[in-house]
Amino acid sequence: MDQLLLERALDARSELLERLAAEQTDSLRLFHGAAEGSPGLSIDSYGDLLLVQTWREPLDEPALGMIEDVAQQSLQRELRTVWNHRARGAGDYARWHPAPDLSSVRAQEGGLSFPVDPRHGGRDPLFFLDFRAARRRVRAEASGARVLNLFSYTSTM
C-alpha cells in the first residue's frame, strides 16, 4: 500500500467528509483500491471502526499502521482498526488484526445510528455503504412512518 495513494484519496474526499459530518454521517468508503491504484484493497470508516479489507496480498504490520495513522489524521478522530483478509485459499476468510472489542460499533448516517458487525458469519459488516442513496430515498418517502428495513441487513425499524 502506497501512502501517497491513500493521502490523495482522502484529500479528494475532503469536501465530502465535511458534508457528511455536517449531516451526522461518519460511514463511508475512504479508499477503493481498484479505482485508486491499489487493486485488492478497500478501506471503510464505520464510526470509530476502520475496516481494512484485502482480496489479493495480505498487509504487513507497517502497512496497517500507516493506514491507521493516515486515516486518523485525515478524519481527526481515534479509530479501532480491523483487517479482514478475504483472498481465496486464505483458509478462514477473516483475519482480524488486532482484536478490539467491537460489540458497540455503530455507524451514523443522517443522524441515525446503525449497528455494524464486521465479525459475523458473512463477509460484509451488515451495513452496506453503497445503499446510502436507497436509505435516503426511503427516509424521504416514508417521513413520519415506521419502516422495517429488509433490504440492507440492519433490520432496524
* pLDDT for 10 beyond 50: yes
Region 112-130: what's the mean pLDDT? Answer: 73
Residue 99: predicted pLDDT: 60
**Mean pLDDT, range 17-36, rounded to an integer:** 95
Q: Look at residue 121 in the predicted model and tell me its pLDDT.
A: 54
pLDDT at 124: 65
Q: Are 43 and 31 in contact (CB under 8 A)?
A: yes
43 by DSSP, 3-state: which?
strand
Residue 15: what pLDDT? 96
Question: Do residues 143 and 136 make contact, with C-beta atoms less than 8 angstroms apart?
Answer: no
pLDDT at 93: 47
Ranges 31-35, 73-77, 133-137: which has the least confidence: 133-137
| The pLDDT of residue 45 | 94
Please tell me whether residue 59 adopts helix, strand or coil conformation.
coil
Mean pLDDT of the chain: 84
pLDDT at 156: 54
